[in-house]
A and B are shown apart, each in its own frame.
Chain A
């Protein structure tokens, strides 16, 4: 961690999201107060009819911020992405627009990532794909993960899928990745020994300290998170959750994170993309 503060701005290290004391209290409360003991609940998948975006659990003010493109701060990143789309950063003078045309042609792309990268035979996420074009096709230096430029471009491409249903990649390699992601989702990890499913399947809608536990759908990424005071990726969100249960977070770009992303997309299949969303 670069800064000692808990809420350091622009600090993408996964400082715990859940204030630890509050978190412990929340767990204890859950044990004492719930009709079924918290830890004994078996992770059951959320019925289709009950699936909902984290948007639904937000306060009206935060929802209003997301609904209006002129008050959603993530749109500042989108604007920056629009500029980058036309830029020629490399020796070969190629811009994104030169090969891809207007960015609206990217409609539906973000709704089906991660997907199979035929060249490597492995799943690749949207960020990885953007990097590929940047280094291999533009002959420019890669944008670091979670850099402003990369998030700006991912937000711009994500926005083109807004309102479209999530369509998980159908190929067998991506499906195998999603299956590994599902196993990870159900595996207890960290000093707190909790799985993703215990929070997001079994206890969504309940309070964890001051936060409401959402179902954990990837519908809005990259998001503008009020706590981050900036835009962040789904992988940053997942690393925060891992740090929250005191597990060692996988590094950005790790296969395990891509597998988790694949599973989250499968779990959210058919839900509507809301990129760029606002979250508390």
Chain B
């Protein structure tokens, strides 16, 4: 199930520091658990999260098996231009979840 929630302002003044919060639904199977038969449940986690804005990668995180399911990532950036913010999660199965929100920057 690929679904994400983005908490970002719709508008910001140029130069303003804005907080972005990205919540995604993912089971984040650690790869350390076993079934009752002893078989390892294969690892299936989001390993990379990125955010692009105004032509640049403004945030990147490498995630590891200790991460909770449905991770919430919060960070800040400086509003520069009216451009989309593109959030991307990439998991072990090669599935990418992408979510885009438009930011309007005023003078």
Contacts and interface: CB of A to CB of B under 8 A. Distances in A.
Are both chains from one complex?
yes
Interface of A: 1-5, 8-10, 68-71, 73, 75-76, 79-80, 148, 229-230
Q: Which label, helix, strand, loop or mixed, suits the secondary structure of the B interface?
A: loop
Contact of A3 (B23, B28, B33): B33
A46 B72 CA distance: 37
Interface residues of B, number: 22
B103 interface: no
A75 B69 contact: no
Q: Which label, helix, strand, loop or mixed, suits the secondary structure of the A interface?
A: loop
Contacts of A68: 7
Nearest to B29: A9
A80 B3 contact: yes
Given A68-B7, A229-B69, A230-B69, A73 B34 contact: no
A148 B27 CA distance: 12
A230 B4 CA distance: 14
A76 B70 contact: yes
Interface string B1-42: 101111100000000000001011101110001111000010
Given A9-B29, A230-B69, A2 B21 contact: no
Given A68-B7, A76-B5, A229-B69, A8 B33 contact: yes
